[in-house]
Amino acid sequence: MTFFQKKLIVITGGSSGIGQALARQLAEKGAHVHIWARRESLLKETLATLGGDGNHAYRVVDVGEQEQVKNAFAHLQSEIGLPDIIINNAGVTHPAYIEEIPIKIFEQMIQVNYLGTVYLTQTALPAMLERGSGHIVNVSSTAGFIGAFGFGAYGASKFAVRGYTDVLRSEMKYRGIDVSIVFPPDTDTPMMADENKYKPFETKEISGSAGLLSADAVAETTLEGIAKKKYLILPGAGNRFFFVLNNLLGGLIYPLMDFLVRQALKKKRGKRSGGSK
């Protein structure tokens, strides 16, 4: 029997990308998977791949709407039971030069990426604490520990997820609730394909040099970390390197990031001058 066998697990943003990969791998490990997302057509497609003779289900939920989250959780708890694990994976992004990002995009990032995580966690915690067990897994990003060029709105929301989760870990550690935070690097997902339409040139150059992980690889590392009850989960060797480097260097990480931006700017200028000949 695996660690996840017969565990009831809720995954937000479970209809595509990393969430879909997590759902599929968890179903294969014998978990009872409930996926939440906004688009019913994608939820149905994902659910059809899970099998499991009715052990899995989906629900249309916009995690940025607190009432929808509360209603969905109340329905799950009354009809099925209290989840063993909650994976707050839902997220949106819109990269751009920071002065060009509309305020409504900043608000959307906070509402979905940060408050969406808070809404479900705060809804679930009282029942988990009463039971004396549970595991909350919050998905941040590499942009949640490094100020990544082009991610002024997205990165801020993911830094907020980290701050909230750090406090959550501290308060839950001796109360029976396990907490994990995941920092995925650039991952080959539909969201990545969409964000590439908006990325500034410098962002593409910097992120392109770091490589791209598959959603399955990120999901596999994430589940290994959950099973081992790790707090920090860092998929990808390069990602782990930057996390350690950031913590070791402190403020010295800024000259390194500045160097990467300068290299991208040189290439950008080179392309412009080459195109003007």
The set of catalytic residues is 140, 154, 158
d(CA 127, CA 105): 33
- What single letter denotes the amino acid at residue 141? S
Tokens 């799950």 label which residue? 76
Tokens of 144: 């949640």
Rg of the chain over CA atoms, in angstroms? 19
What are the backbone dihedrals phi and psi of residue 135, each rounded to the nearest 5 degrees, phi first?
Answer: -140, 120
User: What is residue 60's DSSP assignment?
Assistant: E
Question: How many CB atoms are closer than 10 A to CB 131?
Answer: 12
**Is the Cβ–Cβ distance between 181 and 164 less than 8 Å?**
no
